[in-house]
Structure 1
Amino acid sequence: MRAALPGARTRPSARARRERTAGLAFISPWIFGFLVFTAWPILYSGYLSLTDYDVLTDPSFVGLDNYERMVGDPQVRLALWNTLQYTLLQVPLYVLVALALALLLHQAGRASGFFRTAFFVPKMTPPVAVGVLLLLLFNGEYGLVNEALGAVGIDGPSWTTDPDWIRPGLALVSLWSVGAAVVILLAALQDVPVELYDAARVDGAGWWRRTRTVTIPMISGALFFVTVVNTIAAFQMFTEAYSAYFGAGNSTYSNDAALFYVIYLFREGFAELHMGYASALAWLLFVVIMLVTAVQLLVSRRLVYYEGEQR
């Protein structure tokens, strides 16, 4: 048998080719679904963003007119600003609460299974119901949140009518579905080697120091995942805010403070039938999310530890 020359390519064996063919056959339904239901709509929306299209007639090519319109559209700036404010409020709050609950569950022992399920079940609540829940809990006159604050002598704000408190109220109600992140972080906590905690105790480290120097670095990968996924979801906030502030019978509320980017995109595309302009708005959102995610990935190189990697 001849030895292969250094750098020479070796042809895959018949078995390797069969395995590759079988693998492609198994994932072919996903490939078909991705190409037809994801890749093609994305590419076609890119074409529509260069057209004037009202769904009822054929699209007519207008070049970059839709993007030029976005630059001068004050509603785009308002929607982006509202979305950015909400994201900056919601993401840190969501991650911190999820981490705190995961740390508590990690100390619960056998009871953690029950509480893990109890925290996750609200995640199954339909987003429209969460929007209605927002109006019930955070109503400035008879809402449960303000009643609880009043019991301790705090005069609660008008969460659903004061423009300054609409976004914080939405950020707080998003904690209703924090259970998914709790489950992820709890799984990461359970994977931290016990030996590291034992070594820290021998060195005299207390709970806070062990959390800061052992727990957080060892679960930083899971924290980063939760942060990135939740950031993307925050930029796409739609259902809860729309059902609470833009649905039937909600005309008495201040809608401008709740005008998130995807809500404005939806209104332009499906209410005004400006589908070409809505496609351009969608591509702007895509670029913004990609840039934010790229920044997070760059920052993660210094802050995130992955087991087995060389430092």
Structure 2
Amino acid sequence: MTLSDGHSLGYGALLLATGAEPLRLAIPGDDLPHVCYLRTLTDSRRIINKSKNAKRAVVIGASFIGLEVAASLRERKLEVAVVGKESLPLEKILGRDLGNLIRETHEAHGVKFHLGRTPSAIKDQQVQLDDGTKLECDLVVVGIGVRPNTTLAEKAGLATDDGVVVNEFLETNVPGIFAAGDIARWPDPRAGRIRVEHWVVAQRQGQTAARNVVGARQPFVMPPFFWSNHFDLHIRYVGHGSGEARANVSGDLKSKDASVIFRSPGKLAAIASVGRDLENLKAELALERGDEFHAR
């Protein structure tokens, strides 16, 4: 392996963990000083500092990063507008019922939504949308997704497909070269080949890859999961539901005591729960074992 300064390093095994980078806007004004992205601790501190003197914020992106930033800024007493190209927040991942609850929760706390819209330009005190709407603001936070950093892998001739393709041992198509974290696209035993952008998956893949680098043959079989908090709404999700998964609600979402079960096709793919943490843990165990699961 050749470093940027020209030095070479030999290796018996190599682990790629180059992560992902935020997708950037490509519109007039996207480089103005009040436009922020959230990926690193430095980014977080920058947003916090700018929010101290801001009154109105526009959040571009209605997925997890955007919505959690919106909630945080509202708790700091800023006026917040969320712009998203989808018709309902997180519907593709969490389904219509839970997506509606998330929107209603944010609206109850003063967040305004502009869905089915995209930004066309940013000015010093304004974001203009594609339908001509102008949103007054002095802070803009962009959370429109990330792109896996596969440049090095591609230069090395590794197989890539929306990430670096690995087997169940997190090894690439080149023996002795492994990949983990946001760049790794691995064969999940339940959902097929997937790539997950979450720090817990990255951490545990790093542990598995480290064991395999030193000679173990340990497959990575952990069901992916995440927690997402929106004011007083706390969502626990485990598994990986595709866009084809059917969602069935058990319980009462309005009362924050429910689970949404995703099956694809006919088998358990994922579960999202509100107020049912123990049930979520049982679902995680069922997914890990390949067992069936029924909500109460």
TM-score category, normalised to shorter length? under 0.3
Greater gyration radius: 1
TM-score (norm 2): 0.26
Greater helix content:
1
